[in-house]
Structure 1
Amino acid sequence: MSPVRVAIIADSPQVRASLQALVEASPALRLAASAADAGMLADSLAGSAPDVIVIDVEPGASEAPKAGFDIEHVPSALVMLTDEADSEWILDALPGDAAAILPRNALPGEIVASIEAVAAGLYVLSPEILGRLLGARTPPRQTASGAPFETLTSREIEVLTMLAEGLGNKEIARQLDISDNTVKFHLAAIFGKLGATNRTEAVMLGMRHGFIMV
């Protein structure tokens, strides 16, 4: 198999050099380009398309760098290194086909494995980030039967209410002005917190626990 062509975006020269060295040291990977931002990356690539783009998102960033998404034929495969994965703008920035979200202090082996995974069309989330995305750190409430469940955020209640109205993912995304990908993450969190296995069950449990009214 041909090596996975990797492009890197990192504002910090130190981080950029570290990621470059990591890619260059792996026989399964090949460095396509490396730059401080998306515009410089596009110039470096000169119209060619990497297989995977790795982005280092520094703390306090208000929006994700559009890592060459304007470059023609760039595949939707992204590895994002961030310590603020529960920010909704990060969910909106994820491509629909394949992505990885890792903490910025992820081990070299974890980063390499994630690059290879997204190149194969998979999603990769660290246990810590998965827990944050699904609201696993929210204190549980008690149901009438005594079984614990986790409270929903205001946005999750909005999504659940629209679910009860029979809206599909695309309509929910349009009304809330968020991406389809973000809707999927919210639904996964709702199902996990309520213990639901499908949309109908989530609505029924939401009504039972008073999250939505009819």
Structure 2
Amino acid sequence: MSQTLCHPPCQGDQLVVTTLVRNGTPRLGLRAVLSDAPSVGEVRHCGDWREVEDALGAGRVDVLLLHEDDYVRDRGVLAGVRRRRPKLLLLLSSDDVREEILAGPPVPDGFLVEDELTASAVEDALQRTLAGEVPMPTSVTRGLLDRLRESGQHRPREVSLTARENEVLLLLAEGMSNKQIARRLGISSHGVKRIVASLLLKLGAPNRTAAVVTAIQNGLITC
């Protein structure tokens, strides 16, 4: 049975979040951290996909937060849900991302890891997901690198990046936001956005997560 929690006072500019996390331990942890997230005004915790559909049909939903098990098991249902355009934030059991998740579609808009599930991590992930920045914890990037090194699955192709694009790409792989990258490199956030857009085009990637994965697969990120 779904449960809707509104954090009074529920302001119009606060986020409406719907969750589907059926594993008991992470579900309880997620409820606790979402209740402390200052940007969240309403949360509907669903027990199955029918309740998710009901929540989406009942009104505005900004972010759909799923456990990776539900994403993998019910991707066909998810395709219909995604047509309604909530951002998709995926909760991973560990930093070892399953290949079918990275293959998509749909590619998640951001990631959280159960072991790193804190109020600040959730708040940061929500804000960056809505900003289109695709948060990927550093531990997830490292896990991808380790897996590709062990399997030898690099697929080198000719991709010509400028020195600045390489700098931004490495910082994306560290999970930095546009503002953090701008501060690190001493350039404007608008300049970072332009460089990220160029990276997506050159790598043929739909978003930042896919760009990092493609860069790893092609040996552009090796450490």
TM-score band w.r.t. shorter chain:
0.5 to 0.7
Kept in 1, the 8 Å contact 2:34–2:122? The answer is no
Q: Does 1:29 align with 2:40?
A: yes
Q: Quick one: percent identity of the two aligned structures?
A: 16
1:76-99 residue CA offsets vs partner (Å, 9 max, x unmatched): 442333316432111134755x72
Q: Does 1:129 align with 2:156?
A: no
Cα offset, 1:136, TM superposition: 7.1
What amino acid does structure 2 have at the position aligned with 1:188?
Answer: A
1:165-205 residue CA offsets vs partner (Å, 9 max, x unmatched): xxxx9xxx9xxxxx967864543102113x9xxxxxxxxxx
TM-score calculated relative to the size of structure 2: 0.57
Kept in 1, the 8 Å contact 2:20–2:45? The answer is yes
Cα offset, 1:39, TM superposition: 3.0
Cα offset, 1:101, TM superposition: 2.1
In structure 2, how many angstroms separate the alpha carbons of the residues matched to 1:32 and 1:62?
19
Q: Which has the higher helix share?
A: 2
In structure 2, how many angstroms separate the alpha carbons of the residues matched to 1:17 and 1:183?
30
In structure 2, how many angstroms separate the alpha carbons of the residues matched to 1:79 and 1:100?
6
Which of structures 1 and 2 has the larger relative contact order (alpha carbons within 8 angstroms, sep 6+)? 2
* Count of residue pairs brought into register by the alignment: 164
Q: Does 1:103 align with 2:78?
A: no
Say which SS state the counterpart of residue 152 (structure 2) adopts.
coil
What amino acid does structure 1 have at the position aligned with 2:47?
Answer: A
Match for residue 212 of structure 1? none
What amino acid does structure 2 have at the position aligned with 1:19?
Answer: L
Unaligned 5+ residue runs, structure 1?
140-150, 174-178, 196-214
What amino acid does structure 2 have at the position aligned with 1:46?
Answer: G
Distance 1:102 1:50, change over 3 A: same
Distance 1:45 1:91, change over 3 A: same
Match for residue 221 of structure 2? 192
Taking only aligned residues, the RMSD between alpha carbons, in angstroms, comes to: 3.7
TM-score calculated relative to the size of structure 1: 0.59
Cα offset, 1:53, TM superposition: 1.5
What amino acid does structure 2 have at the position aligned with 1:187?
Answer: T
Kept in 1, the 8 Å contact 2:33–2:117? The answer is no
1:45 to 43, 56, 64: 56
- Larger-gyration structure (1/2): 1
In structure 2, how many angstroms separate the alpha carbons of the residues matched to 1:102 and 1:40?
22
Q: Does 1:11 align with 2:19?
A: no
